[in-house]
Structure 1
Amino acid sequence: MTQPAQDRRDVQYGTAVASVYDSLIAPALPAEAAVDRLRPCVTGARVLEIGVGTGRVAVPVAAIAAEVVGLDNSRPMLDEFRAKTVPGNISLVQADFRAPLPVTGPFDAAYSTMGSLACVTDREQLTAALSHVRDVLAPGATLSLEYYATGTYRPLVAQHTVTMPTPHHGGTTTFTITLDDRDVLTMGTRIDEVGKPPVEFSEHVLLIERDEVEVCLNRAGFTVEHVYAAESPQPYDWYTARATK
């Protein structure tokens, strides 16, 4: 079936990413550390995940949460998730966080990993996206998110092209990284796996400093409680914020 035009709009993580996510990408980023940080917020709670993907984090979170609603704008990623055994307390919604969320709140907690919320074009769009999340949270609910760490990515921009072995598999992954004057980072990825055709995709994210991310969170109705700064070469800073009562 042909994917409707509105479903393809600005979907960065489409068929190419979905085809290699569980075999190549997810194993390089084990979910355990994220789940451990989320545990105090999500245990027994009604939880929203923004950018659920193929369920790397949602499945272990569902084991300790009361309910998980997973939102993603990529039909191919959601199809990969649905092809698995989806726990009964997870429901999946195809939607774009840059618009009001078509989910029924309130949620006790929300989270977004792997920089999903950075897939915006400017600070105003980030603030609006965070506001959409805030709108479906209960007062005092937590939002936990990973956001691209400038200390890791700005040096990569200076290198422009980086090739490294693909973890857990033969072959290499090559990244081509640029940053424009609007602070939009473009990263092209080419995965060359032994014996298989190359897989290529690109992503565009807003790369801003930690204090600017905090400003966007504050403007969207959150109070930042803690920031765990990435230690290079870790890709993401981790923010824990609370919805203003």
Structure 2
Amino acid sequence: MTAQYGAEVASVYDSLIAPAMPLDEEIARLRPHLEGNRVLEVGVGTGRVATAAAPIAESLVGVDNSAPMLDAFRAKGVPANVELLEADFLRPLPFGAEFATAYSTMGSLACVRTRDELVTALSNIRAVLRPGGVLLFEYYSTAAYRPLVEAGTITVPTPHHGGTSTFTTTLDAASVLTMHTRVDAEPAPPVAFSEHILFIERDEVEACLEKAGFGAAQFYPAEGMQPYDWYHVRSEEW
């Protein structure tokens, strides 16, 4: 799968996107499943979560299919117990069943175009989890994003970055949501990029999890203005 988050996103991720998300809440949810464990992060990006998770985990492997995002992480310095790998979750991951915990934040697992692709991604993660291993992930909240689809285009200030961000959001008949983002922050030149995600309801996400061999999901809906729901599932015994 072609990386959605290339050099354009990498150039603004740490100044625009990361500051808008509450890292403390994510780490608090992950902590019990990180402590003393070998952990996999799917969609590690520039290391926003991995850098905070690494001191808690025994070791952490971060995979991402975007070389520019991984390069941005390396430029900041990678913790000693973290290994980075450029890999696509739609292909088998090059590990055995060695992880006690896998996690994915910022809706990374939604970066597929079909339900079958989501099942494939989840199956590839399950294959590298120990029996009974845990997967925690954020998925785009339909409650949060449907108003954006209805609005079409909106422009909002970005006080932590300066300037404005303009979002144009569409949803097609195949449940693929496309968001075009343009960041304007003078004197820097505009930055534009697009995201495509599978925009499905909770029952469909849970059906995909079941097909991939995970047990019943614990579900935590997005709160307030947060854009993601949380899922917590356990790999069924082999």
TM superposition score normalised by structure 1: 0.94
User: How far 1:38 moved relative to its partner?
Assistant: 0.3
Cα contact 1:229–1:237 (8 A) shared by 2: yes
- Give the structure 2 partner of residue 61 of structure 1: 53
Cα contact 1:173–1:192 (8 A) shared by 2: yes
Match of 1:159 among 151, 159, 181: 151
1:155-195 CA-partner distances (Å, limit 9, x unpaired): 11010001111131321011000000000000000011131
Instruction: State percent identity of aligned pairs.
Output: 61
User: How far 1:232 moved relative to its partner?
Assistant: 4.5
Greater displacement, 226-235 / 18-27: 226-235
Cα contact 2:101–2:129 (8 A) shared by 1: yes
Cα contact 2:168–2:180 (8 A) shared by 1: yes
Match of 1:73 among 56, 62, 65: 65
Take 2:166 and 2:210, find their aligned partners in 1: how far apart are those partners? 36
Amino acid of the structure 1 residue aligned with 2:82: I
Take 1:92 and 1:167, find their aligned partners in 2: how far apart are those partners? 32
Match of 1:18 among 7, 10, 22: 10
Amino acid of the structure 1 residue aligned with 2:67: R
State the secondary structure of the residue aligned to 2:57. coil
User: How far 1:28 moved relative to its partner?
Assistant: 1.1
User: How far 1:234 moved relative to its partner?
Assistant: 1.4
Q: What is the aligned length?
A: 237
Greater displacement, 221-230 / 126-135: 221-230
- Give the structure 1 partner of residue 32 of structure 2: 40
State the secondary structure of the residue aligned to 1:83. helix
- Give the structure 2 partner of residue 181 of structure 1: 173
Q: Which runs of 5+ in 2 are unaligned?
A: none
1:187-210 CA-partner distances (Å, limit 9, x unpaired): 000011131111000000000001
1:51 pairs with 2:47:
no
- Give the structure 2 partner of residue 124 of structure 1: 116
Take 1:167 and 1:98, find their aligned partners in 2: how far apart are those partners? 36
State the secondary structure of the residue aligned to 1:114. coil
Tell me how large the CA RMSD over aligned residues is.
Answer: 1.0
Cα contact 1:43–1:66 (8 A) shared by 2: yes
Match of 1:31 among 10, 23, 29: 23
- Give the structure 2 partner of residue 99 of structure 1: 91
- Give the structure 2 partner of residue 4 of structure 1: none
State the secondary structure of the residue aligned to 1:176. strand
Amino acid of the structure 2 residue aligned with 1:144: L
Take 2:190 and 2:94, find their aligned partners in 1: how far apart are those partners? 36
Deviating 4+ runs (over 2 angstroms): none
Greater displacement, 222-231 / 14-23: 222-231
TM superposition score normalised by structure 2: 0.97
Greater displacement, 105-114 / 161-170: 161-170
Cα contact 2:206–2:217 (8 A) shared by 1: no
State the secondary structure of the residue aligned to 1:222. coil
Match of 1:150 among 118, 142, 153: 142
